[in-house]
Amino acid sequence: MPTLTPGTKATRTQTITDEMVRAFASLTGDNNPVHLDDEYAATTRFGKRIAHGMLAASLISAALANDLPGPGTVYLSQTLQFKAPVYPGDTVTAIIEVKSVREDKPIATLTTTCVNQENVVVLEGEAVVLFKKD
């Protein structure tokens, strides 16, 4: 597990596929046609289908659980601001950076950002997590 000091970073990258969008819709019940129907999505401000915002945000959860702070990490809170759409076929990178670590408890605050393959910020926020101390 990386040392949790302010400025420590981790990243996780995933290409968002059509199969992932459809599986996410099936798992969550979010069947909004903007995610699933090409004809409907063509009539929206996006001009084509977009991935669920929470699918992109789930990359943050994966980075927290697997990379920084790592296994045993549990969310206490997460804020999200969706800045740009994610389309099927986009490659999204979650960037996690330690902002602060409490001295009295194994709780860390981290900035959370996702960018697409063109380095456009698609979402940003802040996570507070309970992490496993060695």
Q: How many domains does the chain have?
A: 1
Pinpoint the alpha helices (H) of 4-52.
18-28, 33-36, 38-42
What does the pLDDT look like over 84-96, one tens digit per residue? 999 999 999 999 9
Query: Within the chain, what is the greatest distance between any pair of CA atoms?
Result: 54
Q: Are 125 and 78 in contact (CB under 8 A)?
A: yes
Q: What is the CATH number of the domain that holds 58?
A: 3.10.129.10
Is residue 84 a part of any domain in this protein? yes
Residue 1 lies in a domain: no
pLDDT value at 1 more than 60: no
Question: Which pLDDT tens digit goes with each residue over 78-134?
Answer: 999 999 999 999 999 999 999 999 999 999 999 999 999 999 999 999 999 999 887
What is the extent of the structural domain holding 32?
9-130
DSSP 8-state assignment for residue 77: E
Whether the predicted pLDDT of 2 surpasses 70: no
* Residue 35 in this model has a pLDDT that exceeds 90: yes
Residue 111 lies in a domain: yes
